[in-house]
């Protein structure tokens, strides 16, 4: 009896200690991911939910609300307005396909810059956020998305907590310049730039120009607009907070949505970590029964078509819409198309349309033969994760570069928007469906993509918890970030060496000249006189 009682007491004590250990290791984390684009949220929410599942108390500032969050996952709602509503009063969302002709510089000046400032202002003025900021909260870590919302970095100062940054894109040239991470402009293209041949002379020159252009406008104009929001919403911190530039420079860590198996490999500081595909690490969702049945019974395979959460297929011009329909009706495969309206005139019998599809789960089905997409990074990662070839039609931002990489890797075909005709689309789709090399390359890349020491989500968890455990981990930051341009690039050292070499060479010449005159002075004079006479 006593032995049994002792065992029960020991077990109770062990359980208690384990619970207390988890409690002691849990942290209060503020997770700031307010941007109102579903594609961003799909990637970012996985980080916050996993932190909560690991026992941390997570407070999330967000536009999208989880319906059944864990009890330690608190949500602060941001007023739900999209970028187009904020750019100008009464502005209507344009047909996204019209953006295809905007240059990267125009996209920045007309959309990212004004939209970023307006959206940051909206976040900080949202009623729930205002009430939240009035309360006396304490946090061990502040995590912010890197997407034109730099004034939100001030929250790390308000709560005296380390700052972590997460990007839904891959390599960020601005952050590289701020932290002195190598740029590698000969091979690594800026995240918002479209270049047909990145490693050609013209491609490298274009990349250099855009990188310089974007950095100077961001550093000396855009950040000033963001700085103006700080005293407006954080008056108690006026004169006490570093510049937003310095806050980004001193961020403890930056997690980026890339992986070298697909993205161009590049040098990384210890506190810039790749977590490409983190949203794919945990998934227990299954297809709805009707979709499962449809895909299972498609004996010739399935073509899946979607232009993402921001681009509406239904906005395609009539002639391009007809090109798609004419190509689809000739296929023996079933076509599943994300179509945002109830009716599609001229729809062939092999075409199934819906306003929304569970994309990750559809791409995981073995009968999917090709994905017709716009090349957004989240969709491309889901394509790679499931080993599916792609026919890509880029519209804006990083989509073109993502599809260039797909073509280079051999699992994709790039078709420019203005080249969409029945003939061109039929050829591109026919090539990918009937040439086994595309599927073979897709499966090869899938294997390489998944071959990691730990999953991208576990990688994100390790580094975020590492920063918390080590109170900001100052020692993993690049000391070069606090050096001026001349010192960092060794210009002063090289100039000093050049000056010394110049002086040494001048002295050697002088010594040789003096010795020559001393040894052969009379002969030189005699020779000179003879020549004169």
**Least confident range of 16-20, 49-53, 398-402:** 16-20
Topology alike, domains 26-281+455-482 and 289-450: yes
Q: What is the pLDDT of residue 521?
A: 67
User: What's the rounded mean pLDDT across residues 84-93?
Assistant: 65
Q: Are strands 351-354 and 412-414 parallel, antiparallel or unpaired?
A: unpaired
Q: Any alpha helices (H) in 67-112, and if so which ranges? A: 83-87, 104-107
Q: Which residue, chain included where needed, has tokens 């007023």?
A: 79
The answer to whether the beta carbons of residues 429 and 389 sit under 8 Å apart is no
Inform me whether the pLDDT recorded for 205 exceeds 70: yes
pTM attached to this predicted model: 0.89
In CATH terms, 26-281+455-482 corresponds, of 3.60.20.10, 3.10.180.10, 3.40.50.2000, 3.90.940.20, to 3.40.50.2000
User: What's the rounded mean pLDDT across residues 306-319?
Assistant: 89
Three-class SS string for 313-350? HHHCCHHHHHHHHHHHCCCCCEEEEECCCCCCCCCCCC
pLDDT tens string 365-385: 999 999 999 999 999 999 999
Inform me whether the pLDDT recorded for 3 exceeds 50: no
What fold does the segment set 289-450 form as a domain?
Rossmann fold (3.40.50)
Residue 172, helix vs strand vs coil:
coil
Q: What is the pLDDT of residue 350?
A: 95
Question: CA separation (Å) from 33 to 116, 117, 165, 354, 413?
Answer: 13, 15, 10, 28, 33
Q: Which residue, chain included where needed, has tokens 């294997």?
A: 447
- Choose among 175, 135, 178: nearest CA to 158: 135
pLDDT band at residue 24 using 50, 70 and 90 as cut-offs: very low
Q: What is the pLDDT of residue 21?
A: 41
**Residue extents of the structural domains in the chain:** 26-281+455-482, 289-450, 490-533
Q: What is the pLDDT of residue 494?
A: 95
């Amino acid at each position: 009896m006593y032995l049994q009682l002792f065992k029960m007491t020991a077990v109770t004590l062990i359980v208690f200690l384990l619970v207390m250990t988890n409690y002691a290791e849990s942290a209060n984390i503020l997770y700031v991911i307010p941007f109102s684009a579903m594609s961003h949220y799909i990637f970012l929410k996985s980080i916050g939910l996993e932190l909560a599942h690991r026992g941390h108390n997570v407070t999330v500032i967000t536009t999208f609300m989880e319906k059944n969050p864990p009890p330690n996952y608190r949500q602060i709602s941001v007023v739900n307005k999209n970028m187009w509503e904020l750019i100008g009063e009464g502005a209507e969302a344009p047909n996204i396909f019209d953006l295809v002709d905007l240059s990267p510089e125009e996209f920045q000046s007309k959309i990212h810059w004004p939209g970023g400032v307006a959206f940051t202002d909206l976040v900080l003025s949202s009623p729930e956020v205002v009430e939240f900021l009035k309360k006396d909260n304490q946090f061990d870590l502040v995590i912010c998305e890197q997407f034109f919302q730099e004034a939100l970095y001030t929250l790390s100062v308000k709560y005296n907590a380390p700052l972590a940054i997460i990007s839904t894109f891959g390599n960020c040239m601005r952050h590289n310049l701020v932290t002195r991470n190598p740029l590698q402009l000969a091979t690594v293209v800026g995240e918002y730039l479209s270049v047909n041949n990145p490693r050609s002379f013209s491609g490298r020159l274009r990349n250099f120009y855009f990188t310089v252009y974007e950095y100077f406008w961001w550093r000396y104009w855009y950040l000033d607009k963001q700085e103006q929001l700080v005293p407006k919403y954080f008056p108690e911190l006026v004169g006490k907070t570093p510049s937003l530039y310095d806050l980004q420079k001193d961020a403890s860590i930056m997690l980026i949505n890339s992986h070298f198996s697909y993205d161009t490999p590049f040098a990384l500081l210890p506190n810039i970590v790749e977590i490409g595909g983190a949203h794919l690490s945990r998934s227990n969702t299954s297809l709805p029964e009707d979709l499962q049945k449809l895909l299972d019974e498609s004996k010739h395979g399935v073509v899946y078509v979607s232009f993402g959460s921001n681009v509406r297929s239904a906005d395609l011009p009539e002639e391009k819409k007809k090109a798609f329909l004419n190509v689809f009706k000739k296929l023996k495969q079933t076509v599943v198309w994300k179509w945002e309206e109830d009716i599609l005139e001229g729809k062939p019998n092999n075409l199934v349309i819906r306003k929304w599809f569970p994309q990750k789960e559809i791409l995981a089905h073995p009968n999917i033969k090709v994905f017709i997409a716009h090349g957004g990074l989240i969709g491309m990662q889901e394509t790679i994760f499931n080993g599916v070839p792609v026919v890509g039609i880029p519209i804006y931002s990083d989509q073109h570069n993502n599809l260039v990489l797909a073509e280079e890797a051999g699992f994709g075909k790039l078709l420019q928007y203005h080249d969409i005709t029945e003939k061109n689309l039929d050829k591109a789709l026919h090539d990918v469906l009937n040439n086994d090399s595309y599927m073979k390359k897709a499966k090869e890349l899938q294997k390489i993509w998944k071959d990691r020491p730990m999953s991208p989500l576990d990688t994100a968890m390790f580094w975020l918890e590492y920063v918390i455990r080590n109170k900001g981990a100052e020692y993993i930051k690049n000391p070069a970030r606090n050096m001026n341009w001349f010192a960092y690039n060794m210009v002063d050292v090289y100039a000093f060496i050049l000056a010394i070499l110049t002086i040494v060479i001048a002295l050697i010449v002088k010594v040789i000249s003096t010795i020559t005159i001393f040894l052969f002075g009379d002969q030189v004079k005699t020779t000179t006189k003879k020549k004169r006479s």
